Amino acid sequence: MASEQSATAVITAKRDGGELSDAQIDWVIDAYTRGTVADEQMAALAMAIVWRGMTRREIARWTAAMIASGQRMSFPELNRPTVDKHSTGGVGDKITLPLAPLVAACGAAVPQLSGRGLGHTGGTLDKLESIPGWQADLAPDRMREILADPAIGAVVCAAGADLAPADKRLYALRDVTGTVESIPLIASSIMSKKIAEGTSALVLDVKVGSGAFMKDLDSARELAATMVELGADSGVRTVALLTAMDAPLGRAVGNALEVAESVEVLAGDGPADVVELTLALAREMLAQAGIHDVDPADALADGRAMDRWRAMVRAQGGEPDAALPTARLREQISAPRAGIVARVDALRVGRAAWLLGAGRARQGDAIDHAAGIEVHVRPGDRVAAGQPLYTLHADRPELVGDACEVLHASYTIGEAEVTPSPLVLDRISR
pLDDT digits (tens, 9 = 90+) for 264-275: 999 999 999 999
What mean pLDDT comes out for the span 386-412?
Answer: 97
What are the angstrom distances between the C-alpha of 260 and each of 108, 115, 152, 167, 203?
Answer: 25, 19, 20, 32, 25
Q: 418: how many CB neighbours lie within 10 A of its CB?
A: 16
Query: Does position 1 have pLDDT exceeding 60, yes or no?
Result: no
Catalytic residue among 86, 120, 221, 283: 86
> Tens of pLDDT along 360-387?
777 677 889 999 999 999 999 999 999 9
Catalytic residue among 193, 237, 251, 376: 193
CA distance 173 to 46: 9
Contact 246, 128 (CB under 8 A): no
Based on the residue annotation, tell me whether 304 is a catalytic residue of this protein: no
> Tens of pLDDT along 196-224?
998 999 999 999 999 998 999 999 999 99
CA distance 390 to 398: 18
Residue 386 class from Cβ within 10 Å (0-12 exposed, 13-18 middle, 19+ buried)? exposed
Contact 45, 168 (CB under 8 A): no
Q: Say whether pTM exceeds 0.95.
A: no
Cα torsion angle, 47, 4, 68, 161, sign: negative
| Cα radius of gyration rounded to whole Å, the chain | 22
Nearest to 369 by CA among 89, 133, 129, 158: 129
CA distance 82 to 389: 41
Catalytic residue among 94, 174, 308, 369: 174
CA distance 355 to 362: 13
Nearest-5° Cα angle at 163, 42 to 4: 20
Based on the residue annotation, tell me whether 167 is a catalytic residue of this protein: yes
Q: How far is CA 178 from the centre of its chain?
A: 19
Fold classification of 83-315 is Pyrimidine Nucleoside Phosphorylase; Chain A, domain 2 (3.40.1030)
Which CATH number does the domain 329-414 belong to among 3.40.1170.20, 3.90.1170.30, 3.40.109.10, 3.40.50.20? 3.90.1170.30
> Tens of pLDDT along 302-337?
999 999 999 999 999 999 999 999 999 999 999 999
The helix-helix angle for 39-52 and 22-34 (nearest 10°) equals: 140
Catalytic residue among 93, 167, 273, 381: 167
pLDDT at site 119: 65
What mean pLDDT comes out for the span 84-110?
Answer: 96
Output phi, psi for 300, to 5 deg: -75, -45
Indicate the average pLDDT of the chain: 94
SS3 assignment, position 240: strand
Based on the residue annotation, tell me whether 193 is a catalytic residue of this protein: yes
Catalytic residue among 182, 188, 189, 234: 189
Based on the residue annotation, tell me whether 194 is a catalytic residue of this protein: no
CA distance 96 to 84: 10
Confidence of residue 34 (pLDDT cuts 50, 70, 90): very high
Contact 112, 155 (CB under 8 A): yes
Range list of H helices, 81-216: 96-105, 124-128, 140-148, 165-176, 183-196
SS3 assignment, position 376: coil
Query: Does position 2 have pLDDT exceeding 50, yes or no?
Result: no
Query: Does position 4 have pLDDT exceeding 70, yes or no?
Result: no
Based on the residue annotation, tell me whether 210 is a catalytic residue of this protein: no
DSSP state of 356: I
pLDDT at site 172: 81
- Please report, for the chain, how many H helices and E strands are present, in that order: 16, 13
CA distance 109 to 420: 35
The contacts of residue 72 (CB under 8 Å, 6+ apart) are: 195, 196, 198
Find the range with the poorest average confidence among 24-28, 206-210, 337-341, 358-362: 358-362
Q: Where are the domains of the chain?
A: 3-53, 83-315, 329-414
Confidence of residue 5 (pLDDT cuts 50, 70, 90): low
pLDDT at site 178: 85
Confidence of residue 173 (pLDDT cuts 50, 70, 90): confident
